[in-house]
Structure formats: structure tokens, C-alpha cells
Amino acid sequence: MLSFYPGPSKVYPQTLGFIQEAYEQGIVSINHRSARFERLLKETLENLHQKWDIPSEYTIYFISSATEAWEIVAESLIEQKSMHLYNGAFGKKWSHYVAQIIPQAQSKEFALNESLVECAESITPQQKSSIDTLCLVQSETSNGTGQVINRKDLGFSDDCLIAVDATSSMGGIQLPWSEADVWLASCQKCMGIPAGLGVLICSPKALARAEKLQHKGHYNSILLMEQNRKLFQTHYTPNVLGIYLLNRLSQTLPSIQEIQQSTLEKMAIWEDFWQHQSQFQFDFLIDKKELRLPTVLALQGEASEVHRILRLAEQNHVDLGKGYGVWKENTFRIANFPSHTLEDIHSLIQIIQA
Amino acid sequence: MLSFYPGPSKVYPQTLGFIQEAYEQGIVSINHRSARFERLLKETLENLHQKWDIPSEYTIYFISSATEAWEIVAESLIEQKSMHLYNGAFGKKWSHYVAQIIPQAQSKEFALNESLVECAESITPQQKSSIDTLCLVQSETSNGTGQVINRKDLGFSDDCLIAVDATSSMGGIQLPWSEADVWLASCQKCMGIPAGLGVLICSPKALARAEKLQHKGHYNSILLMEQNRKLFQTHYTPNVLGIYLLNRLSQTLPSIQEIQQSTLEKMAIWEDFWQHQSQFQFDFLIDKKELRLPTVLALQGEASEVHRILRLAEQNHVDLGKGYGVWKENTFRIANFPSHTLEDIHSLIQIIQA
């Protein structure tokens, strides 16, 4: 079974060898308060900083999932009032969870072919000035939207924290780290390892906010996470094997610039294919090329066409992503993650064209 | 490196083969909303019910860690006032986390050689009647205490929920499920798989409490977890590989009765050894045999003796557990988990006696 599902998805095949190493070396048994774990964590954080080009003053934390990260933002960082801008199911879900914790949380849904900047233009300066945390989605897995994150163009105050969900893009494209204060993601997408680990990245401004608020009411308070990170430990027993896999991948994979280039080249193959093939009636759900996420393709067509392609894939032991939420019936999705090779793509194209 | 650390600890060696299977069969890539995952989860829950003798009306949930479970109890189940009875560092930590969420949370520390029943006797009936959730520790990993959990003998009201931390015992001994409403544990102890998964088990009375309170403010609200479990799904992308390992182990390991018998036999070997050996000056930290946890031994002696045995183990590539918290300097700990074979124990004994 070859999985193009947009996460969990195909994992890097070499991760099995890394797991064997972890068994041989006893990594699967190490205590997360030991010097050996501390060395592993320190090295993994350093590798990720380097390979993903994360500014040295930004801090990285391992958590359980991006869903958990949504809640951590609400519990540790939002002061009074957050604003969520979204156009898809996962942005909406984040806003829903936060609203239960932050009574004044606001949200604004925008259209599929609108950019974040266009959405932000419709918010008055008065409204903007009252928002202390802006929650954005860079990669909306439900509909294949990819947004440019640009702090200045959004027009919120300098004190406003910007938190970005990059669940389906982190590790697959270059992210403009300095344009936001919090970046969150899960490992079963572009990181290409088995599910069960999340990554949270914070700017010094985000940590300063956490310090100011002093919210320590939860075991995964950013303050407690940072206290542990300084010792190269974690705030609870983490998924050590997942951390080891990220460590080994970060040693062996190319730089994020090269990975991004490959992601864009593969996306170009897909765009060309869907434009020229005649077997199915599908268009990209997102018309504007610049608003398409290069790591998750969402294609729209008649429900019968969607069923036909999903059935065809299934018959050929390929897993495609079904449509999600309101796009359930009339779209399907294809993950274009770094673990997906040109050969994988050509296999799927051959199946479709057969 | 052979690990006797009381978690993370030695994992079952056969889990590597199961991971290879999970790769070959594409389990590492499956979507957690797919029919294939639903079958895997359904089967795993059924196997655990059967192998661990869990009453059919109790429900099982997979979460990230026992630490997370502590918080879930506070967020979903405690009505007004909880009481924590503890004699060690982890019970104290649980009480600390809960106190930040539940303003009226109470706690009572008891002596090392006291039982839960003796501790409960010192609480007045008036006090008891005001408590809606009693939080107990069956297996206190920091000092090797194991408690009998017996609902009636504690003398709290019938409406009072009893939540039990069995982090270092679940999967290693028979637990009296009906004597409590919530059982929580982590997988890196007696379950013998790599860290990164927790288990939460609830009685119908616990679910009724969750229904009554209707606390849905967190993504891991028990109500949302139960809603997903009914569909054989999970409330967020879980550690699928960990679930698969529990599935395969539950198919191949003996019943919990047999595992418990083996645990007790191995504990008897250790008790006999520490009583008769003359190389080191150690006594069990817990004098009373009936209050010793059979899955984690805590041995007490001079700090110099503790350093000597830890150094000896290290020289022989064996990982022992250091002392924890207030027992840091004058104790060390040995895990006696189901993954530890008689051969492992004899290796360690030989090292100590050499």
C-alpha cells in the first residue's frame, strides 16, 4: 500500500533502519532524564535549527501533536483576546478549541481564493489593536490552501503575537520563521515519520509573553517546557523513538532549501498532469496558483468522479486522501510530502492514465 | 545496555519484529480515520479487555502519557473537590497539577509504611463526604510502594469517584478494576514498548460524571474521547505504532494472571537475594512486604553504597534507577517489569556478586 493520504502518510523508508539502530543502541529504553537522552535532544534541536534554518533565538519543543499545540497556545500565550483567520476545517477547529478557553476569542472565516492579507484588510484598525494573539494557518490540510505569512502586511500591532499552524508544511518547504512567533506542526506529514509527535517553535517574543502571563496551570505550560528544554529535557516522558528518527533524518536529509525545491518540482509535475490529462474531470479546488499549498493538492470535481478515482486508487493499493468536511463529496487530496518520490508520483500517474 | 531503569525501561525484544511488520503492512502510514485503523483499534481494545481482565463495561482510551491523564481527570471528572492521598513524588506531582485546576483540591501525605486504608482512617467522615473524587497511587515509582485498592475499606461515599495512578504496574500485575473508576498508566513501564503512549481506563460511573459535568473545554475531554472511541477512532492523531505494538503483544503474551505470577516469582528472587547477599548494605525502603510494589524495587543504604552499586552497574553496561526526589541520595531502584527475564535478573545478580 502506497499512501498519498495527507497525513499520516508515507513515512521515509529509511526510518525502519533508524528504528533498528535505536533498538541496537538501547535508545528505545533510555530514561528521559539521563545524560544520554539530554545529548540526543540537544543534538536533535541543533540539527533541526540548522537543517530547517530556524533562527538561533527561536526555541523548539517536542509535544504530542499539533492539536495539543493549539491548546498550549491558548493556555500559555493568549492574554485576553485572540483572532483566528481561517478558510478551512482545521483553522476552524483550532478557533473552536481556543474559544472554549479564551472567552473573548474572535474568528473570521475568509473565502477559498482570498489571501490572509486580503482577509486582514477587512479588519478595522480598532479591532486589530485589541488583538494580542493572531492565529493563522499556513497549511490548511482540509482544502490544500498555502498562505504567505508576512507580519507587516497583516497590519496588527507589534505587540501582537502571531501563531501559525504549519501542520502539513513544516519540513517540506522553507517557512519564514521570523514572520511569526509560534509555529506548530505534527510529524506524520512532511517530517515523514510514524504519527505520535508534535513540534512547537517559539520566538523570544512568545517566551516573553509566557513569562509575563506566568500561566503554569497545566503540565504543558510553555514555562515548564522551557525550564526543561534549558536542561535538554522534556516536561513529560516523550516519544523518544520519534525524536531519534527526527535526529537521524536531520543528519541525512538535504537542507530545507533543497527539499523545498524538490517539493515545488513535484508540484509542477502534478499541476502539469492535472491540466493535460483527460481521464478525469478535476480542477484544483484553489484556483489561484499562489494560494495553493505545494505539499497537499486538493482536486475538485463531481462526486461520481471523486468516487471513481478513489476506487481506482484503492484497486491499485494506493491510498488517496478523501475530501474533508464541506469538501467531503466533491474533492479528493494528494499528499506531496518529501517522502513521496518521483517514482511514487509516476506510479500514481500511470494508474490514473491506464 | 540492559535497562532496569523503572521506565522508560527494557522493551520487549519482539517489538522490533512487530515494528517491521507495521512497516511491511503499511500500518505506519495509515490514516487514523480509516476503516483499517478502526479495525486495529477495535481489536486492540478487545484484546486488552480480554488479556488484562478489564470489565466489559469499562472503556479504554489511548492518550499521550500518564501525566496527560492526571490533567484529564482534573478537567473532565472532578466536580468540586478532590482529595489526593500520596506518600511519594509522583502522587505529590499529580496533586500539584490538579490543585492548579481545581481550587478546592485537597491532599494528604502519609508515611512510607502506612497503607491507604490506614491513611483514610485519619480522615473524618465529614471531610470524606465533601470529596467527589479521590486520587490514589497504586504504584508509586519514586519509592517502590504498591497499594491494595479496595473501595469499601476507604470509607468514602458511593458517589465519590476513585482515580488510580497505576503507571508502573498496569500490564505487570492484576489490577482490581472494579475497585476504582479511573485507571491510568504509561506504556514504557510494564507494557514494555517504547515511550510515547498512555492508557486511560474509565468505569461507567466515571463516564456518567463526565456526562453530568459536560466539560468539553479541552481537546482531550473524556466526552470527546468517548465520542471517538464509539467509532473506534481517537480524538487526535495518536501514536499508531504504539497501538499496533500493544495489539501484537496482547495477541502473543500470556494472560495477566500468568504475567503476575511471573512478576511475583521474580520479586521473590530479588527479596531472597537482597536478604542474603553480603556485598552491599541495602534494605528495602519499604519495610512492610505487603506494601512493596512487585514491579519496582527501591533499596536504601548509605549514599556511598548507592554510588558504588550505580557505578558497578554502569561499568557493566546495566542501567539501574537512581533514587528519586527526597530519596535521591540514599536509594536506588530496580525495575521488575514483564520484559525483564530470569536471565536478565541473574546477569545483574552475577554483576553484583562478582
Taking only the tens place, the pLDDT of each residue in B131-144 is 999 999 999 999 99
Query: What's B334's DSSP letter?
Result: E
Task: Answer whether A65 sits within 8 Å of B237, measured CB to CB.
Answer: yes
Q: Is B3 on the interface with A (CB under 8 A)?
A: yes
What does the DSSP assignment read for B27-56? GGG--TTSHHHHHHHHHHHHHHHHHTT--T
Average pLDDT, chain A: 97
Q: What is the mean pLDDT of residues B31-50?
A: 97
Give burial (CB, 10 Å; 0-12/13-18/19+) of A122: exposed
pLDDT of B354 higher than 90: no
pLDDT of residue B164: 98
Q: Which helix (H) or strand (E) holds B343?
A: helix B342-353
**Residue in B100, B223, B237 to test binding to A, most A beta-carbons within 10 Å:** B237
Does B100 contact A218 at a Cβ distance shorter than 8 Å?
yes
CATH number of this structure's domain A2-8+255-353, picked from the four choices 3.40.50.620, 3.40.50.720, 3.90.1150.10, 3.40.50.970: 3.90.1150.10
Amino acid letter, residue B150 = N
What are the b/e assignments for B272-295, b being 16+ CB within 10 Å? eebeeeeebebebbbeeeebbbbb
User: In the numeric block, which cell numbers belong to residue B203?
Assistant: 468505569
Are B306 and B277 a contacting pair, CB within 8 Å?
no
pLDDT of residue A354: 85
At B137, give phi and psi (nearest 5°).
-120, 115
Contact B9 A3 (CB under 8 A): no
Q: Mind giving me the DSSP string for A153-193?
A: HHT--TT-EEEEE-TTTBTTB---GGG-SEEEEETTSTT-S
Question: Distance between alpha carbon B128 and the CA centroid of its chain, in Å?
Answer: 26
Strand partners, B139: B146
- Computed over its alpha carbons, how large is the radius of gyration of chain B? 20
Chain B residues with beta carbon closer than 8 angstroms to that of A197: 196
Using the Cβ of B237 and the Cβ atoms of chain A, whether some distance falls under 8 Å is answered with yes
Q: What mean pLDDT comes out for the span A266-277?
A: 97
Mean predicted confidence (pLDDT) in A213-233: 97
| B259-285: average pLDDT | 97
Residue B319 at interface with chain A, using a CB cutoff of 8 Å: yes
- Asked if residue A222 has pLDDT above 90, the reply is yes
CB–CB of B236 and A68 under 8 A?
yes
The answer, yes or no, to whether residue B267 has pLDDT greater than 90, is: yes
Best residue of B27, B102, B239, B318 to probe chain A, by most A CBs closer than 10 Å: B239
- The 8-class DSSP code of residue A135 comes to E
Element holding A319 (H helix, E strand): strand A318-319
Q: What percent of chain B has pLDDT over 70?
A: 100
Please identify among residues 144-173 of chain B the ones whose CB lies closer than 8 Å to any CB of chain A: none
Judge whether residue B1 has pLDDT over 90.
no
Given B9, B101, B238, which is nearest A29 (Cβ)?
Answer: B9
Provide the pLDDT confidence category of residue A210 given band limits of 50, 70 and 90.
Answer: very high
Of A68, A217, A240, the CB nearest to B196: A240
CB-nearest to B216 from A1, A13, A100 is A100
- B residues 16-45 near A, CB within 8 Å? 16, 19-20, 22-23, 25-26, 28-32, 34
A179, A163, A168: which is closest to A292 by C-alpha?
A168
B150-155 long-range contacts, Cβ below 8 Å, gap at least 24?
B150/B117, B150/B176, B150/B179, B151/B178, B151/B179, B151/B180, B153/B117, B153/B120, B154/B116, B154/B117, B154/B120, B155/B120, B155/B121, B155/B123, B155/B125, B155/B128
Q: Which residue in chain A is spatially nearest to B241 when comparing CA positions?
A: A194
Cα B23 from Cα B30, distance rounded (Å): 10
Place of cell 507589534: A158
Rounded alpha-carbon distances, angstroms, from residue B85 to B6, B71, B116, B203, B297: 22, 17, 7, 21, 21
Q: What pLDDT is recorded for position A1?
A: 86
> In this prediction, does ipTM exceed 0.85?
yes
Contacts A11 to B, Cβ<8 Å: 23, 28-29
Task: Determine contact, residues B286/B292, Cβ cutoff 8 Å.
Answer: yes
Q: Identical fold at B2-8+254-353 and B15-252?
A: no
Rg (CA), chain A: 20
Strand bridging mode A133-137 / A161-165: parallel
Terminal-residue alpha carbon distance, chain A: 18
Neighboring chain B residues of A72 at a CB cutoff of 8 Å = none
Mean pLDDT of A145-162: 97
Mean pLDDT of A104-110: 98
Top-tier CATH class for A15-252: alpha beta
**CA neighbours within 13 Å on the CB side: how many for A306?**
21
Calculate the alpha carbon distances from B289 to A105, A162, B262, B324 in Å: 55, 56, 17, 21
Q: What is the pLDDT of residue A253?
A: 96
Please give the span between the terminal C-alpha atoms of chain B, in angstroms, as a whole number.
18
**Which residues in chain B are contacts of A237 at CB distance < 8 A?**
7-8, 65, 67, 186, 188, 195-196
How far out from the chain centre does Cα B315 lie? 30
CA–CA dist A292, A266 (Å, integer): 13
Whether residues A26 and B16 touch (CB distance < 8 A) is answered with no
Mean pLDDT of B211-232: 97
Whether the CA torsion B215, B221, B223, B227 is positive or negative: it is positive
Nearest CA to B140 among B110, B120, B162? B110
Test the B interface: residue of A11, A18, A31 with most B CBs within 10 Å: A31
Q: Do A240 and B195 touch (CB under 8 A)?
A: yes
Residue A34 backbone dihedrals phi, psi, to 5 degrees: -90, 160
Encode burial over B86-107: b for 16+ CB neighbours within 10 A, e otherwise: bbbbbbbbbbebbbbbbeebbb
Domain boundaries, chain B: 2-8+254-353, 15-252
Q: Which B residues, 181 through 200, put their C-beta within 8 Å of a C-beta on chain A?
A: 186, 188, 194-197
The angle at the Cα of A211, spanning A205 to A214, to the nearest 5 degrees, equals 140
Q: In terms of Cα–Cα distance, which of B24, B18, B298 is closest to B143?
A: B298
C-alpha cell at B87: 506518600
pLDDT band with cut points at 50, 70 and 90 for residue B64: very high
B297-312: buried (b, 16+ CB within 10 Å) or exposed (e) per residue? bbbbbeeebbeebbeb
Architecture of domain B2-8+254-353: Alpha-Beta Complex (3.90)
Nearest-by-CA chain B residue for A3: B29
Q: Which of A343, A325, A277 is nearest to A305 (CA)?
A: A277
Q: Give me A265's grid cell.
A: 518540482
CA distance A157 to A83: 13
Q: What percent of chain A has pLDDT over 90?
A: 99
Q: State the helix-helix crossing angle for B66-76 and B89-101, rounded to 10 degrees.
A: 40
- Are A147 and A168 in contact, with CB atoms under 8 Å apart? no
| CA nearest to A239 within chain B | B196
In this complex, do A67 and B219 lie within 8 Å of one another by their Cβ atoms?
yes
Is residue A248 within 8 Å of A47, Cβ to Cβ?
no
Query: Are A320 and A305 in contact, with CB atoms under 8 Å apart?
Result: no
Burial of A17 (0-12, 13-18, 19+ CB in 10 A): exposed
